[in-house]
Amino acid sequence: MIKETVLYPNEEGKKFDHAYWTSTHLELVQKLLGPMGLVKGEMEKGVSGTDPNAPAPFVAVGHLYFNTEEEVHTAFTSHAGEIIGDIANYTDIKPTFQISETLL
């Protein structure tokens, strides 16, 4: 399985609307990418670092699962503009993207 991870660093003074992401943004992503091989999407909300009193290094981490690497690239080549364009509606953080193969 192939996983696209989207990391949103926890930067002071930045905003992130988890409610918007989990409802509106994920719905948009599923509508656009579902027919192109998206298996599922999920979101993690950062709560702390290893020290429970330290802030989480990432305010949010999103995961999108596909069966093949080709599906990921084809889907995002087709719909990147709409998906990236929606980011400003829930955050002013510049995300980092990574595509990985899950081993377990």
Q: Give the start-to-end residue ranges of the domains of the chain.
A: 2-48+55-101
- Which burial class, exposed, middle or buried, applies to 18 when counting CB atoms under 10 A from its CB (0-12, 13-18, 19+)? middle
Residues in the chain: 104
Give residue 93's pLDDT: 98
As a whole number, mean pLDDT of residues 63-90 equals 96
Share of the chain above pLDDT 70, in %: 100
As a whole number, mean pLDDT of residues 11-28 equals 95
Say yes or no to pLDDT of 9 above 90: yes
Task: Report, at the CATH architecture level, how domain 2-48+55-101 is classified.
Answer: 2-Layer Sandwich (3.30)
Say yes or no to pLDDT of 39 above 90: yes
Say yes or no to pLDDT of 81 above 90: yes
Helices (H), the chain: 18-20, 26-33, 69-86
Q: How far apart are CA 22 and CA 62, in angstroms?
A: 10
Q: Taking a C-beta distance cutoff of 8 angstroms, is the pair 37, 67 a contact?
A: yes
As a whole number, mean pLDDT of residues 25-40 equals 96
Q: Kindly report whether the global pTM for this prediction surpasses the value 0.85.
A: yes
Q: Taking a C-beta distance cutoff of 8 angstroms, is the pair 43, 26 a contact?
A: yes
Say yes or no to pLDDT of 104 above 90: no
Nearest to 64 by CA among 11, 88, 100, 91: 100
